[in-house]
Structure 1
């Protein structure tokens, strides 16, 4: 049976419906949605929210107050439904807003960095915060702000800001379990490390990656006194204002020629206005290792205090920016009470910060899997889960290092593991484990007008494909230069496995009154390598380092060198776990420039190389000595497998 309404009945029902619709259209929401527009209606919609209702995450922005009233821009991100989750904090000068909105998406995996995926999908609450004076945060930005003490009388530093931030988070993020871990790389590794000094009770674990520890000894600004002038773009990018800015506006072209034609680093800085940055002035006015540097060295801060927070120090074997810091902190802390259980050192087969990205290759090197993902899932996350979620102890070894050459992770009870074993330079450019009896020397002319490039020209150092993998670049491009000495072994009869930091022990002289010495330890692949034919003959740097001659007797009080006097230069190469395989050769290269990464030494002593003049740059004859009385060598930390 079909039911129907009479026309009069239907009309009576339609009338109130029409009236209700009219009232709805008059409501503010309905009017905003349906109001008529004209060609001149303003088109901006400032209230638009990029996080839509269907998003699988919550993203909150807070201005977190510090003890002095300054508020820091803080982004809190977690997956919807998260309850009783641990907090993983990173304090950064690299824009917390952009870091947490990597892609415009409604999926948490898309908006956060790759390294966060495993954590937020397992109930972690991810927090990124702009440090003082950067991007959305209030306050004054001071690069690597010193800890409260002789260089900082304000009572405010990264340790206090971390403490205040953690205190606010555990009280104001109801989705958390009240436990906090902190991590990050480079500058963010520095803040993660400093947070463990006088830590908040809720800080249960720290994973500093490639932390900036000592800017003179071997991290970003100097290496053993030689200035890394490529870093000048950091000043213009980070310190022009609170926002993200660009590199030095020197235009396109070969960086080699730009720096060479400018003259000294000071000349280059003045040409492009970099000399107006206070941070540049700090560096250029303090070229020696005075208390300006030693009292800012984080390993010394850490050594002066008990180790309270379980800490996993991470660095890449080919870290082109901060290879020094993590091993230096480990060395400073390894004998402290509790260090055996709380302190860990990780060395992976990575460039700077690659631990947080894809780790299946580096330059020409290919690994059997994603080593960075493997580390994060097998070691880093279980370490944090244990301290932040109460998961079983994963028993992370004190030293966890990836053995390049044979491609495997090694667990070790300490670091270094190898026994010091000299590899001697000898006659006819030989290299061997037996000290040469005959005395001798080899020489070359170092010409500051024709410095040795650190990568093949033309050099575009801001190109990520150039800068990130440069430490594994094939060294054949300089092996036949007349200003590079090359020593090498015969093909190895058996594997040589090293675990530690090779040490340079160089007896050398210059005809000038100052000189730089660059030493490279190189793994030379066989020409007939059929297993990896694309690597045939490859000259793989295992370690590269520089030392400025004026500091041979004192890092804090430079002195002119006496012409042609033999001096003994001792300095370390980066920490490695590497196997020189049977059939390969071991090579050592010695040179006096690595340009334009490092500023040129004039080779004529001047009080401050930043202000060297054109006439100060002179050719010099450099001599490397070997034999019983002057046994130049690379001391390898050899492991007997």
Structure 2
């Protein structure tokens, strides 16, 4: 054939390379076109941007995600001719709706120019560069609507975790073309309860590898390394977070230096907390806030956002809140189960089809009036979605909601009656040399191939209940279902023989000893809500103060949100301990200025007492729908 003859004529055995000078892939069978652009920002820096346009579309919206996780890789989930296969599962409905999908490397990462700053704050005292995620998004949207002729000039921003942070940032001084935002599991306040700290306790096992991978190189080429299969051993040998960071050469990494220099909730953290920033700006862009009940990374941010923004929208037109039965990423992908828990179908896919896409269609394509409630929450235990007018709900389906106290009592009992004793407590010895593991050992790093990091918030808690340094109280088996919705608060009356202490409080659903439909769940201690509080911040999160040894002090510890029904035959359990290792760094239990650099001799045993008297009634405040 003529084609074969041309190949023979063009072929030269004298050539030193079989690679052509230029090769253009055949994409005529693709259902989309792919554009790669370097979009200029106001300071001249150009940001690498991938634009995926469904073939044949006109007058269609744009969905934008700004990422530190490599736009090229984020738009090649599978190397396919189909747009729905190429983009992350989060975009399954937007690709089906034939939206234009855009991913952009944030400033300083992968293909984008400029310098990278982790969680870059708004321009101001913490950022004097003159640019931030808000300005970069504004400039990006301005370019997109002017240079993509297939668009209708309307843009939505979507993203989860760090991408959720950049999504929120673009609502501050937003571009007029920005019509809707969907922040999934967004990073809101890194000290109070999201990625880096939880109420003062440093999340070393999550934070150190992440900062190392993100900031050591522009393209994440150098990865955190491990010298131990069990991270419990590795962090225990290191001694403190500072020593572990030094062993990896992190002294030159900017974000680690900031973490180490700001262990308290000072102005550095307060001035960049997204809830505080958004509270100071008008609410102009419709927002669908998406959170997970079992988010192992950013469990604090989404409910806090709703709490701050809802009063700005009294009619419920701009702010909607969805709370799913999800870990950190499940709202963005398949979500039929989590660990041993089974849900009613793919809850993530159901949400994206029936809530997120109608929300986007309404604001980006003038689709019919929304039928989305102000709050939509999945109730575990009952395995059902519920629509509410607010969160926590005051009334639903003819039922009133109210707060009630569950008191710790003698003999390991838990009940609704306040204790009457004058002198009563339960105690344990907390030994920093043998900290309580946050999950059953070996603790596998989150980046390991076999890791189940995303499931640890539903781990069976029997591995800690049998330890002598963990206190346990439980109700009798329930005779009627007990439905709870909202944020529990632990009112802990406790004393320590040391001068500092951590307090970990866990609320647990204890399943019956036998479960006929699933025998493996017999006796399962399902953690519903748990958190850690560093005692030195009892009076002021911004100022660390030593505790008075052996003095009974009250700690009010807000716990993560719950939406759950305790079924008949189940029991409610509360556990209290003083370490959650190695996810959180150990408290030496002797007051030192900065625990990240605590000397070895400061780590000492301490006797911890939890009091249960009429004067000191330790209790868990729960929000009951009855």
Which residue in 2 is equivalent to 1:475?
461
Which residue in 1 is equivalent to 2:396?
none
Q: How does 1:93-492 map to 2 (within 5 A)?
A: 93-230=68-205, 231-337=207-313, 340-417=316-393, 418-439=401-422, 440-462=424-446, 463=448, 465-492=451-478
TM-score (norm 1): 0.93
Q: Secondary structure at the match of 1:118?
A: helix
For residues 342 and 21 of structure 2, what CA distance do their matches in structure 1 show?
48
Residue 506 (structure 1) aligned to one of 480, 485, 492: 492
For residues 443 and 260 of structure 1, what CA distance do their matches in structure 2 show?
24
Deviating 4+ runs (over 4 angstroms)? none
Residue 554 (structure 1) aligned to one of 540, 553, 560: 540
Cα 1:101–1:427 shift into 2, 3 Å:
same
Question: What are structure 2's unaligned runs of at least 5 residues?
Answer: 394-400
Q: Give a deviation string over 1:465-497, Cα, whole Å, max 9, x none.
A: 421100000001111000000010000111111
Q: Give a deviation string over 1:606-626, Cα, whole Å, max 9, x none.
A: 000011111110000000001
Q: What is the Cα deviation at residue 38 of structure 1?
A: 2.3
For residues 132 and 620 of structure 1, what CA distance do their matches in structure 2 show?
47
Q: What is the Cα deviation at residue 119 of structure 1?
A: 1.2
Which residue in 2 is equivalent to 1:518?
504
For residues 520 and 151 of structure 2, what CA distance do their matches in structure 1 show?
51
Cα contact 1:238–1:245 (8 A) shared by 2: no
Q: What is the Cα deviation at residue 40 of structure 1?
A: 5.6
For residues 119 and 108 of structure 1, what CA distance do their matches in structure 2 show?
10
Question: What are structure 1's unaligned runs of at least 5 residues?
Answer: 1-17
Larger radius of gyration: 1
Further displaced range: 281-290 or 33-42 = 33-42
Q: What is the Cα deviation at residue 246 of structure 1?
A: 4.7
TM-score (norm 2): 0.96
Cα contact 1:83–1:123 (8 A) shared by 2: no
Query: Please, what is the CA RMSD of the aligned residues?
Result: 1.7
Cα contact 2:227–2:234 (8 A) shared by 1: no
Cα contact 1:307–1:338 (8 A) shared by 2: no
For residues 298 and 46 of structure 1, what CA distance do their matches in structure 2 show?
49
Q: What is the Cα deviation at residue 45 of structure 1?
A: 4.2
Q: Secondary structure at the match of 2:195?
A: coil
The total of aligned residue pairs comes to: 615
Q: What is the Cα deviation at residue 434 of structure 1?
A: 1.3
Cα contact 1:498–1:576 (8 A) shared by 2: yes
Cα 1:386–1:552 shift into 2, 3 Å:
same
Q: What is the Cα deviation at residue 187 of structure 1?
A: 0.4
For residues 67 and 392 of structure 2, what CA distance do their matches in structure 1 show?
31
Cα 1:602–1:476 shift into 2, 3 Å:
same
Cα 1:596–1:306 shift into 2, 3 Å:
same
Q: What is the Cα deviation at residue 192 of structure 1?
A: 0.7
For residues 472 and 383 of structure 1, what CA distance do their matches in structure 2 show?
30
Which residue in 1 is equivalent to 2:62?
87
